[in-house]
A and B are shown apart, each in its own frame.
Chain A
């Protein structure tokens, strides 16, 4: 009887610890969001939302500061767009190869190597873009400035290929063999089976992979901080130097910014913009997964 009671207490304690650990991650997330909003609200006491969202210049550290977020947003979108143009097609093709074509042995070797791409520190990618890719690109595009959006965009694309390909491949592998057989049985080739049956069947998983890749690109910091230049620039021209939201946050945080000043608050204003961009993508991804859920 006594034994039973003590084991019951033990159960309770274990349950309590598990609950606390689960709650802590939620609490941390909530407090981050709270602080972000709180500090950003302070920023909007000094700067109107209209100026923030429509201003075409971002010069918070100048004597005559301007607080238009558009240059940072355009910089972020530009680099992300370039990265996506590289990562999505390449990632998808890699996934198709690994899932549908590669012999077992090749897949066993190629997949871990590919995933190693994700393990390279991003700072290495940053210098790779600045010191290796940019000079090469300058051979083809002489007007390309030393800091530009193109080179880090391409490198970031390479960096997120494994995220896209790995999740896409899992989604394609999950398409049952008998669906492929149905395709072969109507005389489809391997290529037709892969692109007209397997990819559409795995669509929601592939969409999720794309969204993970895009979120990763938007949030990426080091590569752009190093190789894109630190110049807020309202442009969609990839050969000019730009600055992204993340690179701005790093740049200002590294400098000597006193707590409570408007410069300090701009960090949170940029942060909350970033927050809404990735939140939007997450909602989109969630919606995709819910709406297009295959039942095989």
Chain B
């Protein structure tokens, strides 16, 4: 197996909501073009950590970040960094599908348009390419200009993935992307992740242990704001080093 590049590295990352510390000294290397799953009980900080990677945490008032996160070796918390540019490189898919109340086409075209692409042909190409990459094209090609809200939840979530793909990010963060979906729609997203892995680095937060085991190459276990254990998924699930990890992955936690 060839040496994997580190795409994202966090060093000594702390995060506070007011006076409550939600992340405690997180150190992690996230590998390029791999799927990294973050697991742990609710409130353990895994979603907070995910949102620290594209600085969406700071949209919440009264929060504070300490420490360092490097994307391709470049500090993303340095003063003066172009946050908008960062979010174009590190896209995000949310727990609840959140299409804009616009047409399917307009949803995907949104990203390219805010990037300042005005050529109609170029936008159309990007829309088609992104919808194909999100495995949604065949289902919506004949109704691109109808409202995105008429799609099923599973289709809406793939549309949100297409919307992120349209700005050609390098990393895709997924915050429990399947928790609102039925098993068939979930399976489709998981298949899609395997396809996307060839080109993108994916970090996924999930409550679903099987999903983490099935889909990811690397897994991290969060507990009470700390990253207790991190390593190849197979190791974490079959040979956990920490007793608490073992309890959690075998369903004996709590």
Q: Given known contacts A187-B84, A187-B167, is B100 in contact with A197 (CB within 8 Å)?
A: yes
Contact present for A186 and B91 (CB under 8 Å) = yes
Q: Taking CB as reference atom, which chain B residue is nearest A191? A: B114
Which B residues are in CB contact (< 8 Å) with A294? 101, 149
Contact present for A182 and B101 (CB under 8 Å) = no
How far, in whole Å, are A163 and B135 apart by their CA atoms in the complex? 46
Contact present for A189 and B61 (CB under 8 Å) = no
Contact present for A188 and B100 (CB under 8 Å) = no
Q: Taking CB as reference atom, which chain B residue is nearest A192? A: B114
Cβ < 8 Å to B, chain A residues 185-233: 185-189, 192, 196-197, 200-201
Q: Taking CB as reference atom, which chain B residue is nearest A202? A: B101
- A-B contact count, CB below 8 Å? 74
Q: Given known contacts A186-B164, A187-B114, A187-B115, is B87 in contact with A181 (CB within 8 Å)?
A: no
Which A residues are in CB contact (< 8 Å) with B87? 184-187
Size of the B side of the interface (Cβ < 8 Å), in residues, is 29
Cβ < 8 Å to A, chain B residues 221-249: none
Contact present for A178 and B166 (CB under 8 Å) = no
Contact present for A186 and B166 (CB under 8 Å) = yes
A295 sits at the interface (CB 8 A)? yes
How far, in whole Å, are A295 and B94 apart by their CA atoms in the complex? 18
A121 CB to nearest chain B CB (Å): 38
Contact present for A186 and B88 (CB under 8 Å) = yes
B214 sits at the interface (CB 8 A)? no
Q: Taking CB as reference atom, which chain A residue is nearest B166? A: A186
Contact present for B160 and A182 (CB under 8 Å) = yes
Which A residues are in CB contact (< 8 Å) with B91? 185-187
How far, in whole Å, are A179 and B164 apart by their CA atoms in the complex? 13
Q: Given known contacts A181-B98, A201-B100, A294-B101, is B56 in contact with A186 (CB within 8 Å)?
A: no
Contact present for A196 and B164 (CB under 8 Å) = no
B33 sits at the interface (CB 8 A)? no
Cβ contact of A182, chosen from B84, B113, B163, cutoff 8 A: B163
How far, in whole Å, are A196 and B59 apart by their CA atoms in the complex? 18
Which A residues are in CB contact (< 8 Å) with B94? 178, 181-182, 185
B96 sits at the interface (CB 8 A)? yes
How far, in whole Å, are A176 and B100 apart by their CA atoms in the complex? 11
Q: What bracket does the count of chain A residues touching chain B fall in?
A: 20 to 34
How far, in whole Å, are A200 and B52 apart by their CA atoms in the complex? 29
B54 sits at the interface (CB 8 A)? yes
Contact present for B84 and A188 (CB under 8 Å) = yes
Which B residues are in CB contact (< 8 Å) with A184? 56, 59, 87
How far, in whole Å, are A189 and B88 apart by their CA atoms in the complex? 10
Contact present for B149 and A182 (CB under 8 Å) = no
Cβ < 8 Å to A, chain B residues 84-112: 84-85, 87-88, 91-94, 96, 98-102, 110-111
B218 CB to nearest chain A CB (Å): 22
How far, in whole Å, are A182 and B149 apart by their CA atoms in the complex? 15
Which A residues are in CB contact (< 8 Å) with B110? 183, 186, 188, 196-197
How far, in whole Å, are A206 and B164 apart by their CA atoms in the complex? 28
Contact present for A200 and B101 (CB under 8 Å) = yes
Contact present for B101 and A296 (CB under 8 Å) = yes
Which B residues are in CB contact (< 8 Å) with A187? 84-85, 87-88, 91, 111, 114-115, 167
Contact present for A181 and B114 (CB under 8 Å) = no
A-B contact pairs, 29 of them (CB 8 A): A104-B61, A179-B101, A180-B59, A181-B59, A181-B98, A182-B98, A182-B99, A182-B100, A182-B163, A183-B100, A184-B59, A185-B94, A186-B164, A186-B167, A187-B84, A187-B87, A187-B111, A187-B114, A187-B115, A188-B84, A188-B110, A188-B111, A189-B84, A200-B100, A200-B101, A200-B102, A294-B101, A295-B149, A296-B101
A residues neighboring B (CB under 8 Å): 104, 176, 178-189, 192, 196-197, 200-201, 294-296
What 4 pairs between A and B have smallest CB-CB spacing? A187-B88, A185-B92, A186-B111, A182-B98
